[in-house]
A and B are shown apart, each in its own frame.
Chain A
Amino acid sequence: FAEFDDAANLLAANPDATTISIDEPAEIPKNQHSRLQEPGREEDDELLGTDDSDKTELLAGQKKSAPFWTFEYYQTFFDVDTYQVLDRIKGSVFPVPGKNFVRLYIRSNPDLYGPFWICATLVFTIAVSGNLSNFFIHLGKPTYHYVPEFRKVSIAATTIYAYAWLVPLALWGFLMWRNSKVMNIVSYSFLEIVCVYGYSLFIYIPTAILWIIPQKVVRWVLVVFSLCLSGSVLVMTFWPAVRDDNRRIALATVGTILLLHALLAVGCLAYFFDAPELDFPAPIIPAHNGTTVTTKSH
């Protein structure tokens, strides 16, 4: 069993091995980039300090060995316990500066439970909160007849699931393409990117509930706040994957990630939540045929 000891020692000394796409040549650039040594060593120490780090790294290569047409293959994507899901959610809401979400929480065990059910919850939360907020805004008016607006649920579902699955696909494809041109130290699998995106959407759930408050200032403050939190998780995850690239491309990638994230938040706010009426009384303008017409300003 000497080979196992050697392998264990090698992996314990270099836990980044599983995340590097090409093993042999990647060793050389890692030694050449001296600025990477310090954060790399800190992460090594931090990873070695936990109990099951060697075990997870050893098992990581053997996990998804079932063929893809069996049920067991898909069970490997749901191999999480309650406390792990809660930890990942906590990590997405309270981003620790400098710590990578994928490295810290996912650690070669990406799950599909979090992304799928967070998206489902977000869809229904946005639809229900939007409906409630419109109800409260239009409450006193005599001409208002409450409608449940059920169509918006399917629109919300399409938008959010498309964002949570197609954007990671595009990003993964883009990163793979850049990896073939520029040697990047860190590369993520498609499932890890889906995981990060799914968990980063969690902050929008309480934000959507608080959007019921019919004040424009409050809503925009919430948008900015939640965008900062989840955007920082995304940036801290993807910056190490693109920083070795051309400066402009790296900045453009991170900028696009943030822009799409902001578009999702602002788009949901604009479409599902009617603008709250302003408080001052509307002026009455006499129309040309003598009847008075009341105008509302938005």
Chain B
Amino acid sequence: FPGLADVSISQDIPVEGEITVPVGSHSPDEDYSTLDEPVRDTIMRDLKAVGKKFVHVMYPRKSSALLRDWDLWGPLVLCVSLALMLQGGSADSKDDGGPQFAEVFVIIWFGAVVITLNSKLLGGTISFFQSLCVLGYCVLPLTVAMLVCRLVLLAGAGTVSFIVRLIVVVAMFGWSTLASTAFLADSQPPNRKALVVYPIFLFYFVISWMILTFTPQ
């Protein structure tokens, strides 16, 4: 075993660490538990957390709020609104129309789960729900793109409107992919980053394709 001869621990580096026992509650007043607060406070707190995460997605910076305090409300709201806006396509022929509500839902959630499993199997250190949270929240730019597309389609469906929609969707697709990679890239092993980023790219590409090919009745 020649390789083991090189391993040695230098004598002058002290081995040290600390052991802390986490204190239970952080709130200053012990007798005011969240069970007694008004319902409005509970809802507003959650809404503020969701809103803060939306802001983090739109201006992606290295913040841990999205990862540490994950929640799935935001992704649910985004997914439902995107799936609702994708309705109203050519609904006469059942065969060749756009995606049904259930299909959009399944694609987004099943796709996010598969990507999360993929990154965990490749050795990522992020937890399952944190990754779902990030992927779901980063659908926000594409939902905005869908809104813009529907508004543009109200004005007309010609070539100009198609070019406008194309530019908007491509820009938002880039934004989504960059935002989610910014959040997820750090937790991946370094020589597998491309293997983790590619499925995310594919996922947002499929959603962008569904948005771009939406044609009203």
Contacts and interface: CB of A to CB of B under 8 A. Distances in A.
Contacts of A149: 96
B97 A150 contact: yes
A77 interface: yes
Contacts of B198: 117
A153 to B, nearest CB: 8
Given A124-B202, A145-B90, A148-B89, A131 B213 contact: yes
B192 A82 contact: yes
B215 interface: yes
A121 B199 CA distance: 9
B122 A78 contact: yes
A146 interface: yes
Contacts of B206: 124
A271 interface: no
A220 interface: no
Contacts of A121: 202
Given A148-B213, A148-B215, A81 B192 contact: yes
B202 to A, nearest CB: 6
A280 interface: no
B137 interface: no
B175 interface: no
B36 to A, nearest CB: 41
Nearest to A112: B121
B123 A82 contact: no
A85 interface: yes
A191 to B, nearest CB: 14
Contacts of B215: 145-148
Interface string A125-152: 0001001000000000000011111110
Contacts of B63: none
B194 A151 contact: no
A75 B124 CA distance: 11
A191 B22 CA distance: 46
A113 B195 contact: yes
B205 A124 contact: yes
With a 10 A CB-CB cut-off, give which of B95, B120, B195, B215 has the most chain A CB atoms. Answer: B195
Contacts of A81: 191-192, 195
Interface string A52-87: 000000000000000000010011011011110100
Interface residues of A, number: 25
A113 B210 CA distance: 25
Contacts of A83: 191
B122 A150 contact: no
Contact of A148 (B97, B123, B199): B97
Contact of B123 (A75, A77, A128, A146): A75
B193 interface: yes
B89 A82 contact: no
B60 interface: no
Interface in A132-181: 145-151
A260 interface: no
B103 interface: yes
B209 to A, nearest CB: 6
A113 B118 contact: yes
Nearest to A86: B194
B34 interface: no
A62 to B, nearest CB: 16
A180 B198 CA distance: 42
A108 B199 CA distance: 25
B192 A120 contact: no
12 contacts: A78-B118, A80-B192, A81-B191, A82-B195, A121-B202, A124-B209, A145-B215, A147-B93, A147-B97, A148-B214, A148-B215, A151-B96
Given A85-B195, A113-B195, A148-B89, 7 more contacts: A82-B195, A117-B199, A124-B206, A147-B90, A149-B96, A150-B96, A150-B99
Interface of A: 1, 71, 74-75, 77-78, 80-83, 85, 113, 117, 120-121, 124, 128, 131, 145-151
Instruction: Across the A-B interface, give the 4 residue pairs with the lowest CB-CB distance, nearest first.
Output: A147-B96, A78-B121, A148-B213, A81-B191
